[in-house]
Structure 1
Amino acid sequence: MPRPLTKPQASAWAAAQPPTDNQPTAPALSEADRVHAPRAEPAGASALGDETPPPTLRGAARERIVAAAFKVLAERGSHNTSIKEIAKAAGVAAGLVHYYFASKEALLLEVTRECSRRYRDEMASIPLPEDPREQTRTLLHWSKDRGLTLPDWYRLLVDLDALALRDAALAKEVSDLKREVRAHLCGHIAAVEGRLSRPLGQSHTAYAAVLMAAVDGLILQRLIDPEFDMNAGFSALESMLIALLEQRNDSDDKTA
């Protein structure tokens, strides 16, 4: 005979059920949201210790919470968003959000962590030409297009950075995320350098940090000022990088 649910398990089960007529329904996600909104992993150990919901109740509600948080936090910002509003958008009880995430900042971090994984996966899947200059152009064009089509993702990054400036624990987590992205970029930089006649002259990590700062900075300026010419900024960045590659590849035809 199945063991009866404990009170916390019963509460979690009730909160995870589909919304009724009296409960708000999660808004439909656009095609872009469905592709890029994070997919949360099934929950592991909970804040309630041994009072973990049965496995069949995990995952679906948590996934709705993280996807709704992505949409609401990106649109309104962390300071203007409450756990209650995220729960309403997800169509679950606020208590279930607290069950999975200790704070709003923890939820924001989980959203950003999952988006970062997708960012790295997408970058790794880009077909790159062999020529170092064309590789550089391809990656820059991909970054620019991403900034134009996924502004919500970059708004989340800016919000997370601002919170990390005032929270030491969060700062460590954000630093780890940025370190992972830099490490991924280092792989691309190493591949480019391997096709040059001379080394780039600085560490791969240093170049990765500069690229992240330049790309994120251009996109941030566009988010703040819609009239900012981001295309011109990326074109200037591309020219500087191509000039550097040509200096390190003197034997090549520089007209490419």
Structure 2
Amino acid sequence: MRHLTVAKKAYVTPRLIRITLTGEDLREFPEKSESANCKLVFEGAAESQTVRTYTIRGYRCDPRPEVDIDFFIHDEPGPASTWAKDAQTGSPIGLKGPSGPKLVNDTGDWVLLAGDMSAMPALEANLERLSPETKGIAVFEVVSPEDKHAVKAPPGIDIQWVINPHPAMPNTVLVDAVRGLSLPGGTGGVWIAGESHCARELRRYFRDEAGVPRSHLYTSGYWQMGLSEDSHQRLKRKEAAADTIGSEQS
């Protein structure tokens, strides 16, 4: 585990806090890790530590090693977002990982990326890595108009915003917005992340109705209504195993 401390803190939007972490343990951190997952370990006794999954939003090694982590502040904040709100310069935290980056397949004619505020760091990191010639659409679901902000993306990417003031309640806001899009011709690369029910429904839509090949389709449930992170991660592992078996048999 990497032992880090808070270097700085800033509000990207009223509900999105960017925490910059630093420490000598980042000296060997892999470059181009933006959009990769990591595990944040919040201080406490070993048997009572809280561990949560977050996205690497940014990494810099010069003049000192730093990583940026964005925290979505929920209406009913949990231990991670509460820590982010209370964090001060020098506050300690542990980091495990990262995994490999989760990137959209941009080898086709266009890309489509969509996600809620939990997926915003990975979605933006993906957009920033696209070539300037890339064309497509990016759909951001936010809680209020105040959460809209400047997004760096190729000029050929159409940035769209949809408002969902109650993301923790059953809804189809993002699903309806994405299904209502007029998709370009040719082969597209699709990247979807956010609430699990939404991600599963959009995966089914792009696979079964829109005809996007498996190699060009990435979806991930970052959280699920009614489940703790531990329960959600167990469910994801079970679904991934079933999906692997299904693909081998098809």
- Provide the TM-score with structure 1 as the length reference: 0.27
Larger radius of gyration: 1
- Which structure is higher in strand share? 2
- Which structure is higher in helix share? 1
